[in-house]
Amino acid sequence: MSVIDEIKARVDIVDLVSETVQLRRSGKNYTGFCPFHPNTRTPSFAVFPDSGTWRCFGQCNEGGDIFKYVMKKEGWDFPEALHYLAERAGVQLTPPTQQQQEAAEEHDHLRALLEEAATFYHHQLMNTPGGKIALDYLLQKRGLQAETLESFALGYAPHSWDAILQYLRSRSHSEQELLDAGLVGQRDEGGVYDRFRHRIMFPIRDERGRMAGFGARILNPDDVPKFLNSPQTAVFDKGRLLYGLDHARRAIRSLDQVVIVEGYLDVIALHQAGYANAVSPMGTALTEHQLNLLKRFSKRIVLALDPDAAGNAATLRGLQIARQTMEREQDPVFDARGLLGYEARLQADIRVTVLPEGLDPDEVVNRDPKEWERIVAEARPVVIHVMETLASGRDLDDPKIKSEIASQVLPLIEDIPNPVERDTYRQRLARLLRVDERALLGSAPGGARSRPKPRGEQRRQPSGSSTAAPEAESHSRTVSSSYLLEAHCLGVLLRRPGLLYQVDRLLLQEGLPRLIPNDFQHADHQSILRLFQDSIDQDMTEPLDFVFNNLSLPMMDIADSMLERTEKFDPSDDRVLDDLMRGLLDLRKRNLHQEIDYQRYLLQEAQEGADRQQNSLLETSQYLETMVQLTEMKRRLDQAISQYTGHSTVTRAAKSAA
């Protein structure tokens, strides 16, 4: 039995879900209100103890096993959910190598040291005369509340060269440890000194809430730089961190949107005002790693720029802001072409909004929270933002200005991979400049036939699957037939990737939706299918090589076992497609039966409630209508399955593997 199976055997899904959802028994299953979307009338959430799975039949329309539940509830990826559930179940994960163990211990030690420093700085802010200046500034000038200071654990670094040094020395920490944590600097003549002095301290944590370093803001306007971050350490890498993400991830997932602002205080003020989906890249240009991190929570990203960063001058300078070194370490870079590249690779929706002249986000939200809502709601796609910014306040009757704007915007439009979006933006640019669209087609780079870069440069990268790391699947596992059937279908697809196109086409011909991860109930299979679909959407490497190049070692073991299951299975057999279709349709039918059973329960509840005048006849009729739709879907599935009758090698192979 693998560790995943052992965890599933030890963690009862009903007990797990009952910690946050009030469940009611309905036959052998349980129902309740979905914890992932607002609903207080109809219990659309069901738990199935026999299969160890759950499903929301309402707005979410998602389901899965205990791993998927924890991932969705906490906003974690698979490894985080795996470690949490393993600890809960008392299951030992695969022992790390000695090198990994030593690195993990070093990182844990550094984080513990940084936690001690955060506690020291917070005490200095809240309880010392020296910290009163910083405390007054935060409470009175920046409008923060005491509860907010506690929540974000803000602090104050004393006006001293050795305050943190002496404190941590007294707690038996060496100078080398403080250097490794980035808390002190090295003197040229020998010895060390406090890196942060007379500054407001912002503890910086990773998305899991673990300490990584500090950001520090000046109190004396004559000090430089204005913002100072921890140096690069074993646990602090600015390009891999986003300030406030540990507080924001649930709100980002709930709202399906993240707003990126520039400063620490902007993030804090927005959270205090109830806009808890804000994060900050800490004064650096956005990296693809940061956007990949955000994509795990939402693909809808709004970049809130100040007018200087998004204005005409910056845009005309090659659509990129010049970096300034006088007042801060780095200014955020607004690179329109780069953002479009991110959109294409990440399959995200990146928009830009501009703040009122002279105001930061915290000033906007403190003045009028509704104004902040409006600003974010009016965020525009990157290309539209660029074209309207370039055109603002200029004489659009001047042919040379029209040509100048077109020459800068058209290359951006041509970089967009989606042809419908390209045509839409060209039409909008033509209307803005009041020219015939054919003139823009003729002036596009490469003429009317111009198209984006080669597909391999545009296709999206694996969407987090490289980090999904469940433990190796054992041949001795005793699992449900649905798990084995899912694994076998994936193994067949891995051996013959081109079948995915044929599967999707056949499903559409039967009036059924394409294959999606939610057709599988188990989180590890959902993760592999997502990565497999990514492999089909690129043409730089063979799909199977792409999959294995982007899998962690434990996940490779599961993919290997899928291939082993199909080792004696001839992928060139003409019956493969029929067998694969039969297996996938069987999986869909099992999921549909769950949904039908649940809707029957809802209908029965509604009818009983109507008898007691607790429910309206309208609700009962709605459930009846849903049952009719599900019955029609079942008819289509049965009709499709009937076309793939006979002895299914997929189904037979899955059963023999059990």
Q: pLDDT digit string (tens) for 202-242? A: 999 998 789 999 999 999 999 999 999 999 999 999 988 99
Same domain flag for 465 and 513: no
Residue 63 falls inside a structural domain: yes
CA-CA distance, 642 to 578, in Å (whole number)?
A: 11
The 3-class SS string of 481-547 reads HHHHHHHHHHHHHHHCCCHHHHHHHHHHHCCCCCCCHHHCCCHHHHHHHHHHHHHHCCCCCCHHHHH
Residue 96 falls inside a structural domain: no
Residue 232 falls inside a structural domain: yes
CA-CA distance, 31 to 623, in Å (whole number)?
A: 16
DSSP category for residue 311 = S
Q: Do the Cβ atoms of 160 and 194 come closer than 8 Å?
A: yes
**Among candidate residues 236, 261, 282, the one where a domain is terminated:** 236
pLDDT at residue 123, rounded to an integer: 97
Q: Walk across the sheet containing 278-279 and list its strands.
A: 278-279, 258-260, 300-305, 349-354, 380-381
Same domain flag for 428 and 482: no
pLDDT at residue 63, rounded to an integer: 86
Q: Please give the model's pTM, rounded to 2 decimal places.
A: 0.59
Which of 200, 204, 151 is closest to 182 using CA atoms?
A: 204
Host H or E run for residue 64: strand 63-64
Query: How many other C-beta atoms can be found within 10 angstroms of the C-beta atom of residue 480?
Result: 16
Q: Which CATH number does the domain housing residue 407 bear?
A: 3.40.1360.10
pLDDT at residue 280, rounded to an integer: 94
Same domain flag for 416 and 405: yes
| Segment 400-446, tens digit of pLDDT | 999 989 988 998 898 888 888 889 999 999 999 999 888 888 666 55
Residue 95 falls inside a structural domain: no
Host H or E run for residue 302: strand 300-305
Q: Find the Cα–Cα–Cα–Cα dihedral 486, 488, 494, 495, rounded to 10°.
A: -160
Same domain flag for 212 and 295: no
Residue 534 falls inside a structural domain: yes
- Looking at the structure of the chain, the number of domains it has is 4
Same domain flag for 176 and 304: no
CA-CA distance, 21 to 38, in Å (whole number)?
A: 13
Q: Which two tokens stand for residue 196?
A: 């942060």
Same domain flag for 195 and 252: no
Residue numbers in the chain where pLDDT is lower than 70 = 1-2, 40, 94-96, 283-284, 307-334, 442-480, 552-555, 567-574, 598, 601-602, 605-619, 645-658
Q: Which two tokens stand for residue 568?
A: 């004696």
Which of 121, 66, 108 is closest to 91 using CA atoms?
A: 66
Domain that holds residue 457: 245-469
pLDDT at residue 154, rounded to an integer: 98
Q: Do the Cβ atoms of 107 and 171 come closer than 8 Å?
A: no
**Among candidate residues 451, 469, 487, the one where a domain is terminated:** 469
Residue 99 falls inside a structural domain: no
Residue 8 falls inside a structural domain: yes
Same domain flag for 334 and 436: yes
Same domain flag for 51 and 157: no
Same domain flag for 580 and 514: yes
Phi, psi of 227 (to 5 degrees): -120, 140
Phi, psi of 202 (to 5 degrees): -115, 105
Q: Do the Cβ atoms of 632 and 567 come closer than 8 Å?
A: no
Q: Which CATH number does the domain housing residue 173 bear?
A: 3.90.980.10
- H-assigned helices in 612-648: 617-642
Same domain flag for 82 and 138: no
Which of 657, 491, 472 is closest to 584 using CA atoms?
A: 491
Q: Which two tokens stand for residue 620?
A: 């009962």
Residue 94 falls inside a structural domain: no
**Among candidate residues 428, 448, 469, the one where a domain is terminated:** 469
Same domain flag for 595 and 637: yes
Q: Do the Cβ atoms of 144 and 269 come closer than 8 Å?
A: yes
Same domain flag for 376 and 287: yes
Q: Which CATH number does the domain housing residue 49 bear?
A: 3.90.580.10
Q: Which residues contact 315 (CB under 8 A, 6 or more apart)?
A: 336, 386, 389, 390, 408
pLDDT at residue 374, rounded to an integer: 96
pLDDT at residue 131, rounded to an integer: 96
pLDDT at residue 649, rounded to an integer: 46
pLDDT at residue 234, rounded to an integer: 94
pLDDT at residue 362, rounded to an integer: 94
